[in-house]
Amino acid sequence: MSASASFALVLASTSRYRRELLARLALPFETVAPDVDETPRAGEAPRELALRLALEKAQAVAQTMADCKPQAIVIGSDQVADLHGQPLGKPGTHERAAAQLARMSGQTVLFHTAVAVVQASRGFAQSSLATVTVRFRTLDAATIERYLLAEQPYDCAGSAKSEGLGIALLQAIESDDPTALIGLPLIRTAQLLRAAGLTLP
């Protein structure tokens, strides 16, 4: 099976970071916002939260497209920052971002980025997880403030953009899927798309 007009490839996300990353695979796709409650369940580990939400996002969009595009192949993704077992979400505000970075100063943080691919018409649903280990430098309040004013990463889990100025806050990054930290692990995404029957360039 090849990527043809007979079915659609859909990214279940409105994230510009994921959209820009998926575009690197040179496959035509559209984006649809998933209607999913992202509230963690009681006692849910960060990695399990990321995997659950990625799959739920893909399934939700596949369901909404069942009538108009039943053959759609849908990609869902989610990222959860994990500080000693506690999930860190998107800060949303300057104050919360400053508090997150202060907590992560000098610490090792795991960024769990999950991706799921669903094609409901034939019951295909697979998921994968890329975990990135990030070691933060020791950050004083002035450094945190300068960074946040310069980059305003309030829509990023962990309050730092490693693809931008946020790299200066870090001591080390360890990953086997280089784009996972930005928001979509493309090596794993490509593997799942091939498993779903798509031919990648």
Active site residues: 78
The tokens for 130 are 């890329």
Beta-bridged to residue 71, according to DSSP, are: none
Return the beta strands (E) in the chain as ranges. 9-11, 30-31, 73-83, 86-88, 108-119, 124-136, 170-174
Q: Which helix (DSSP H) or strand (DSSP E) does residue 100 occupy?
A: helix 94-104
- If one counts every other C-beta atom within 10 angstroms of the C-beta of residue 190, the result is 17
